[in-house]
Structure 1
Amino acid sequence: MWSSVQRWRGVALIGATSAVAVWLAASGQLVLYIHPRYILFTVTMAAIALVLVVAAVASAASRRRRDDEAPVSRGERALGLTAAAIAGAFVIGMLVIPPATLSTATAQQRQINATAADLDALDDAADADDATVARFTVREWSGILRQTSDLGFFADKPVTDLIGFVAPDPDDPENVFYISRFVITCCAVDAQPLGVPVHQPGWQAELPVDSWVRVSGEFGANPSESSLQPLVVLPDAIEAVEQPSEPYLF
């Protein structure tokens, strides 16, 4: 019995992990963990692993084996069973617990807009037509705000249907929140939070933290005396929306 556990533990875990990766890709949820550019590679490698697992099982079933291994000590047995249990619990958890996007807790740990200085954003916005400005996401607006606080620059550049999740401004959480998104370069481990400040006194009464919203309005001087953000969106409309199928920006 123990020799079988030792022999097939790794094969079973590789197979289960690969199956989880394929399942996440098929259900459209793998994008919650990795950049879309890596999905094809990941699925291909997982499929190859599954083929090899099937081949290993078929090969073992085609011949009879005798267990002639040396006796296993109690410590080795316990260590092996513990490792298998931990790995098995991880795989089962991936299947049972629905994948979730990164949240405000992660955004606060990694500091919103620490990487928002997109050097091309300001120049691109200066020459952009109305249709292009209307398509700006949190990525573009946060990059622009990091480079200028000149209200004249924003005079003819309204915010249109900006979508993100709600994260409180740490300096004035009563009156200002960030409409936020995570930007991913490789996978969720390197995700960096970006956000655009919105002035809406008493927003907590209607907008739960981490809820997704669509905001339209215009930039103006921040009325808050506590917030460190010089400019904020003064909203004309704030609407609750469903989380996008691709919640991250790439």
Structure 2
Amino acid sequence: MKRNVQVLLLLFLGVGLLHISLLTDLYLRYVRPGLRPALIASGVLLIALGAVSAARDGFPFNRPRTDGDQSHDGDRSNGDGHGEGHGHSHAGGPKVAWLLYVPALTILFLAPPALGSYTASRDDAKAPKAPASTTGESLFADLPDKGVVEMSLNDFSSRAVWDTDRTLKGHTVRLTGFVTPGRHGTWYVSRLVISCCAADAQVRKVRVHGPAAPPADTWVTVTGTWHPTGKLGTDDASPALDVSTVDRVPAPKDPYHDVVVTPDSR
């Protein structure tokens, strides 16, 4: 690979990382907030490496050719005016190497969106397993008796599958997520949760019974009551909601942080 390709690639990648992690919140589409310092440090390091390489090679990033380089590239003379026919070309790597700029420039000028309905519709949602109780007491705290209960999809899914005490029964709950179309006109309100980065994303989704689905990937807040499905405490149960209202809301800055969304925070 030519030196100019290497140097520019380092610079573009470094600037792109600093752009999404230092100047914007776009990095939250790919990693957890705690990794921001590491992204900033990586961006600074890449820029520094690119700058050092550029300074070493000289502008415009091509090292001046020496007499030794020229004699090596041409036919060597054997002293009697005849060449030995050992010419070599060191023009660099294949032209396709320039395609390496594509991901670097994409991060800089057109940051890919966070994972959404395409991923959620192709992965099976699994409710987080409830911890085993050693005291015989309920694993889930009672919900407030009055008003609409704001819940995360994670908490609702866990209760809807594993809560044999049925603490969801009789309560109106409110959930927030993005729309994921299902089969035969069904749809889900979904979230993707991550441990480190988007590569390890796990799906949380609740089937909606009631209103027609808004467009895929639309962020919504739905209000309704628990729709029991399957036998509680087993993998046959699945989270579902009888929905009475659907309100569109702006996409959150951190799409993977599944927390309770209150009216004041929307």
CA contact (8 A) 1:20 1:95 kept: yes
Q: Secondary structure at the match of 2:52?
A: helix
CA contact (8 A) 1:22 1:43 kept: yes
CA contact (8 A) 2:222 2:243 kept: yes
Q: TM-score, normalised by structure 1?
A: 0.76
Which residue does the alignment assign to 1:136? 151
Q: TM-score, normalised by structure 2?
A: 0.72
* Residue 19 of structure 1, CA deviation: 0.9
Q: Secondary structure at the match of 1:154?
A: coil
Q: Secondary structure at the match of 2:65?
A: coil
Which residue does the alignment assign to 2:199? 189
CA contact (8 A) 1:199 1:235 kept: yes
Which residue does the alignment assign to 2:128? 117
Which residue does the alignment assign to 1:82? 96
CA contact (8 A) 1:32 1:246 kept: yes
CA gap of 1:214–1:124, structure 2 versus 1, over 3 A, is farther
Which residue does the alignment assign to 2:248? 240
Which residue does the alignment assign to 1:41? 38
**Higher-Rg member (1/2):** 2
CA gap of 1:231–1:27, structure 2 versus 1, over 3 A, is closer
In the alignment, is residue 94 of structure 1 matched against residue 102 of structure 2?
no
In the alignment, is residue 17 of structure 1 matched against residue 13 of structure 2?
yes
Per-residue CA distance 1:53-95 (angstroms, 9 max, x = gap): 2233334449x84345454659x74x43212x11112222333
**Aligned amino acid, residue 117 of structure 1:** P
**Aligned amino acid, residue 153 of structure 1:** T
**Aligned amino acid, residue 241 of structure 1:** V
Which residue does the alignment assign to 2:79? none
% of aligned pairs identical?
24
- The one of 208, 218, 221 equivalent to 2:225 is 218
Per-residue CA distance 1:135-178 (angstroms, 9 max, x = gap): 4211111222231466x421254312x110111334xx42x421
Per-residue CA distance 1:210-236 (angstroms, 9 max, x = gap): 2111011211346xxxxx866621123
CA contact (8 A) 2:142 2:167 kept: no
Unaligned runs of 5+ residues in structure 1 are 223-227
Counterpart CA distance in 2 for 1:94 and 1:190 is 20
Counterpart CA distance in 2 for 1:189 and 1:146 is 26
CA contact (8 A) 1:196 1:233 kept: yes
Q: Secondary structure at the match of 2:35?
A: helix
The two structures, once aligned, show a CA RMSD in angstroms of: 3.1
Which residue does the alignment assign to 1:225? none
Counterpart CA distance in 2 for 1:97 and 1:103 is 17
CA contact (8 A) 2:177 2:220 kept: yes
Counterpart CA distance in 1 for 2:30 and 2:225 is 33
CA contact (8 A) 2:160 2:168 kept: no
